[in-house]
Amino acid sequence: MLSHLTFSDAVRHQANGIPSFALDSPPMDVFLASPRGFCAGVDLAVDIVDLAIQQYGTPVYVKHQIVHNPKVVADVEAKGAITVEDVEEVPEGSVVVFSAHGSPPSDYMKAKQRSLTVLDATCPLVTRVHNEAKKYAKEGKKIVLVGHAGHQEVIGTTGQADMQVINELDDWDLPHWDEETEVAVLTQTTLSVDDTALAVSKIKASHPNAVVRNDICYATTNRQAAATELADLTDLVLVIGAQNSSNCNRLKDVAIKKGVPAFLINGPEELDSEWLKGVERIGITSGASTPEKQVKAVIEALKPENVFRVGPGEETTTFAIPRSLRSLVDDSSRRSKDEMIPDEDY
């Protein structure tokens, strides 16, 4: 779906907290993906850190980056959060928030040993994968996880049960299991929809009775679909987000596979004028952990003549606050920590 929006002079000069940055570039149109940016899991995680600070005071510790975006991490740290990579770095008796990506059981054991108050900001869709892993392990199935070893989500999932991890982007082979071996296939939630489907087909070729869970989340799926449409309409695609964000990198891959040059940048300061030579139509999208103010800053730097919205529109999914913090907020009136700027204001 494509709709025309007017780029307002009034918003061109307000970077919403990000320093202004402008390029001398030829006239161009921007095609803006919708949905883009914060998903329900990211909203929930940032809410939990904010409410933890409100409930317990500072400092509140966060195990791993709360989400994979340096600007979001900087924002929560400015409020009194302290990011650590290991539970053992958290002083005994403190409050710790476990990041949205999920954590292995060993982290919860360490927290108990240190008498920590744990607030779990794991995305509910990641928790679902953890529960699937435990279920299939109890049933005696061999578990295959399609995912990227070393990513925090995969570290959390592989801690739930013994499993074989395969990277859908690499060449791989399964262990030589008998054809009768019962196999269950799980996936990281932020993978390429198309690449994962190919990996699953390869698994099914040798284990046709394998149980396959489609664990790629709604936000990943929707953003990749919008990015595909975006690539069909533009000469260049810019993905706004962090280099260590899996879902941002997959959005870039989607455009490149459609034959369109694509770059992953964290803000307008990373724009390269060489990319824009001869470009009349630029597509812009952002990953599920990217604040809208970063998108806005890039659009302002480009100074397009027109902005066109591409895609079905923004999502309305929300996840409930944990019971331990629910008294501090009315779920019916919760608003995103990243207030989406109406597309009509671009």
- Per DSSP, 332 falls in state G
What DSSP line would sit under 183-210, residue for residue? EEEEE-TTS-HHHHHHHHHHHHHH-TT-
Catalytic residue check, 153: yes
β strands within the chain, DSSP E: 2-5, 29-33, 60-63, 81-84, 95-98, 117-120, 142-146, 164-166, 183-187, 211-212, 236-240, 262-265, 281-286, 306-310
Q: Which of 77, 88, 92, 153 is catalytic?
A: 153
Question: Does the CA dihedral 112-115-116-119 come out positive or negative?
Answer: positive
Residue 168 near residue 146 (C-beta atoms within 8 A): yes
Distance CA(76)–CA(69), nearest Å, equals 11
Residue 221: both structure tokens together:
């799926």
Place of tokens 């449409």: 229
What DSSP line would sit under 53-95, residue for residue? HHHH-S-EEEES-SSS-HHHHHHHHHTTEEEESSGGGSPTT-E
User: One-letter amino acid identity for 123?
Assistant: C
Residue 171: both structure tokens together:
């060449």
- Per DSSP, 276 falls in state G
Q: Which residues form the catalytic set?
A: 153
